[in-house]
Chains A and B, each alone.
Chain A
């Protein structure tokens, strides 16, 4: 299962908490028929039921919402105050296009700057992102031993704001704040236009009335589409500075034109940009994946979601193996002298084990019952002490021990020597000493080539 952005965020917050506080005890989450991601999501949901975890993971979003709400209110008030201040200083006559410039100019400049920086550097668009990054590092520094809340907060902010989706989040927040500012402006204007009477004028040293007519006509189509009254050419020309005694209808038309312009050219683009950012954020968030290769998730997987069950004994060992106890006289790997004129035999010798020169060509390698019988017949015919050559890399299993025992019984226990072809490991040396003891041979009858 692919975890939703919300589930990923919760998983990362809990990771941050558990990495510092240790794994939180909870009733086991069933694992049957779940993949690790689904199990993880279920575990995290269960963990979130614990009040201290819930409050830790909710702290950052709650804080964020409160701060955002406060900023939006402040932005709205700032918009209303800016509007009131700019209109208050103008007296009874309002320069239409100047007021429009004051209300929309800064918003448009910042919108353009955002678009340009977005095009250049998608991760940290605008001027807010780098400042916000610095602010977060100051407010939520990486601590060696953070509390649950600090750990969860840091992950929440880093994951939501410092990614490609995070840039979009900052985008819609910025546009939201501007929207609040402009909405405050619209409300302020509405309040002032309702309670005070203004004459709307335009003035210019260089431009003539035609230019203002043209500008006004460029701006009016969206307003007309919304059903707002727009000033006609005669009203525009009549509003030039110096033409006194504006009609009540013209005043109302200009006031609605101003309000409409702030709505259509200020608020609507911001809301649209915010909406686009929100959609892009949502889309980019869907592409984000949880890095389950992180050590924390690996440990979690091993501890709670094993890929194999712990081993269990089905058929127990009834008691100690006699072969494990070292025989009397066992010691270090030694090389003893062999009797002269030995009869050389081999015991399951591999090809790479070369017998000594005296035995080459005549050595019987005991590998099965047939070669064992052959060896027995040779022993009977020669009645010489037997040197049994064994691969030193081989451990003495019970089958080999049985053959050694049979040979010892056949030739006499004092006439059999076990000769290991290579220097064996201590464990293998011990196993052959034990095999010799079982066959009634002394440790001195075990040697190396």
Chain B
């Protein structure tokens, strides 16, 4: 078998307002592609974009105007002289349509032209709709182009009561391979299935599609990991953040400074995650997340924030503030004892002194340090989990909030206490960010977040 020429051209077709442009936005991870509106006939031209692998175009996706009146169109096609069927019928209609018909079916002619030119069609269906005669007519008309058609059942997350009817109707029309792909509530597995179904329909393109699939999977894995890495870094960094309490400066001012540092760091993390997933601040606002203009709406230290994440507001009141619980160096002192014994035995007084000398000195002086307390860490975690869960499930076509089922989950996931203990361990060890211990805790936290999300 000769290698097919790339790119593979896919025409995205379907009735008007079924989410064709949305499908392209989600597959391209580009919320700026085309125009999406809540009315019929938004897309009135054919627009193409190519998916690339290693700089080479693999798939060309062509967004087409919606089919609006397939019943009238099929009547027009029936008027084509009898011997001409299939592709010849469509070609004849396109070339010889009377001016009135050409004007009336201007959009449909654009779609038919693409149906003839492409290698395969993705027929997008609003699966909330009942199966109507006009949809059957659309499929039959498109079928005249003699190109494989892969039905894409869109909006399955909102209402899947019609799914079975659609499956049966499509099977009656000979379309047994179909894919459920919600362009709003994104699921990478669904995208994978889309390419896999195309592989079965387009055997000659099996290998290029496999390459594309592998690259997309790797890209998604990297993107997901990079986002989780941002969150894990934020949590570990904040759990190990310490500021010596300066007795000559008012404590409240120092607490405020520390709070600002936490806020800024959380904001940096949010910016990086949005950047990585190619979402804008507006997209997040539409995601049912407490984010406005790319910033968290509720302040991290406001009591309402605790309540909104199902945490006990009283716990914050007990510490006086959700941050800055002064730690006297009891824990460090205990470690110091053990470390001194070990140190004396192996003659590493220098090392021990360097590691714990400051703690010892601070203890003798009765100093305290400020660090981010557990309640704030809990909140940071919950906000990160909420953010990532929302964004990982949000398609780039979504124009409305995506609901993520979080209600049934406990406020704090299992294993978090263990993570906090490990992170706090770094605080006592005075392990810097370049150390092996710090990196090990970060990796541990990353793995745990990956499993939890």
Q: In B269-285, which residues have CB < 8 Å from any A CB?
A: 271-272, 275-276, 278
Measured between C-beta atoms, what is the minimum distance from A374 to chain B in Å? 13
> Interface segment, B196-204, B222-230, B311-319, B383-391?
B222-230
- Roughly how many angstroms separate A399 CA and B17 CA in the complex, as a whole number? 13
Nearest chain A CB to B263 CB, angstrom units: 19
Against A, the Cβ 8 Å flags (1 = close, 0 = not) of B341-362 are 0000011101100100000000
Give the residues in chain B near A162, CB-CB below 8 Å: 434
- CA gap between A348 and B133 in the complex, in Å: 10
Inter-chain contact B132/A367, CB cutoff 8 Å: yes
Chain B residues with Cβ below 8 Å from A116 are 346-348
Chain B residues 46-85 with CB under 8 Å of chain A are: 46-52, 54-57, 62, 66, 68-72
Residues of B within 8 A of A130 (CB): 354
Answer whether A428 and B38 are a contact pair too, CB < 8 Å, given A33-B55, A309-B52, A398-B68. yes
Are B129 and A350 in touch, CB under 8 angstroms?
Answer: yes
CB distance B222 to A293 under 8 Å?
Answer: yes
The interface residues of chain B lying within 8 Å CB-to-CB of A397 are 15-17, 40-41, 66, 68-69
Query: How many B residues, CB 8 Å from partner?
Result: 64
Interface size class of A (residues with CB under 8 A): 35 or more
What is the predominant secondary structure among interface residues of chain B facing chain A?
A: mixed
Query: Is A402 in contact with B354, judged by CB distance below 8 angstroms?
Result: no
Q: Any chain B CB within 8 A of the CB of A316?
A: yes
Instruction: Find out whether the CB atom of B48 lies under 8 angstroms from the CB atom of A314.
Output: yes
A309 CB contacts on chain B under 8 angstroms: 49-50, 52, 57
In the bound complex, residues from chain A placing their C-beta under 8 Å from that of B33 are 311
The reply to whether A120 and B346 contact each other, CB–CB distance below 8 Å, is yes
Which residues from chain A contact B113 at a C-beta distance below 8 Å?
A: 315
Query: CB within 8 Å of A: which of B197-249?
Result: 219, 222, 225-226, 229
**Given A309-B52, A314-B62, A431-B40, CB of A369 within 8 Å of CB of B71:** yes
Instruction: Check if A49 is an interface residue, CB within 8 A of chain B.
Output: no
Residues of chain B within 8 A (CB-CB) of A431 are 39-40
CB contacts (< 8 Å) of B40 on chain A: these are 323, 395-398, 431
Asked if B28 is an interface residue, CB under 8 A from chain A, the answer is: yes
* Contact of A33 with B39 in the complex, beta carbons under 8 Å: no
In the bound complex, residues from chain B placing their C-beta under 8 Å from that of A351 are: 130, 161
Report the Cα distance A369→B133, complex, angstroms: 9
Known A39-B55, A164-B436: A316·B45 in contact at CB below 8 Å: yes
Contact call A295/B17, Cβ cutoff below 8 A: no
Contacts of A214 in B (CB 8 A): none
Contact of B47 among A123, A299, A314, A318 (CB under 8 A): A314
Binary flags per residue of A295-325, CB closer than 8 Å to B gives 1, else 0: 1001100100111111111111110010100
Is there a chain B Cβ closer than 8 Å to A215's Cβ? no
Question: In this assembly, does B373 line the interface, its C-beta being within 8 Å of a C-beta of chain A?
Answer: no
Partner of A402, one of B72, B128, B129: B72
- Indicate if the CB atoms of B132 and A315 lie closer than 8 Å: no
* Chain B residue at minimum C-beta to C-beta distance from A368: B133
Question: B30: CB under 8 A from chain A?
Answer: yes
A35-B54, A298-B275, A311-B33 given; A127·B49 CB < 8 A:
no
Asked if A313 and B46 sit within 8 Å, CB to CB, the answer is: yes
A50: interface (CB < 8 Å): no
List CB contacts (< 8 Å) of A125-184 with chain B: 127, 130, 162-164
Q: Is the CB of A293 within 8 A of B225?
A: yes
Shortest Cβ distance from residue A38 to the other chain B in the assembled complex, whole angstroms: 9
Residues of the A chain whose Cβ atoms lie less than 8 Å from the Cβ of B2: none
**B134 adjacent to chain A (CB < 8 Å):** yes
How far, in whole Å, are A306 and B55 apart by their CA atoms in the complex?
A: 8
A152 CB → nearest B CB, Å: 19
With CB as the reference atom, state the residue of chain B lying closest to A121: B351
Interface residues of B (CB under 8 A from A): 15-17, 28-30, 33-34, 37-41, 44-52, 54-57, 62, 66, 68-72, 104, 106, 110, 113-114, 128-130, 132-134, 161, 219, 222, 225-226, 229, 271-272, 275-276, 278, 346-348, 350-351, 354, 434-436
Return 30 A-B CB contacts under 8 Å, by A number. A32-B56, A33-B56, A34-B55, A116-B346, A116-B347, A117-B351, A120-B351, A123-B436, A293-B222, A293-B225, A295-B275, A298-B275, A299-B275, A308-B28, A309-B50, A313-B46, A314-B47, A314-B114, A323-B40, A348-B130, A367-B132, A368-B134, A369-B133, A395-B16, A395-B38, A395-B39, A397-B15, A402-B71, A431-B39, A431-B40
Interface residues of A (CB under 8 A from B): 30-35, 39, 113, 116-117, 120-124, 127, 130, 162-164, 292-293, 295, 298-299, 302, 305-318, 321, 323, 348, 350-351, 367-369, 395-399, 402, 425, 427-428, 430-431
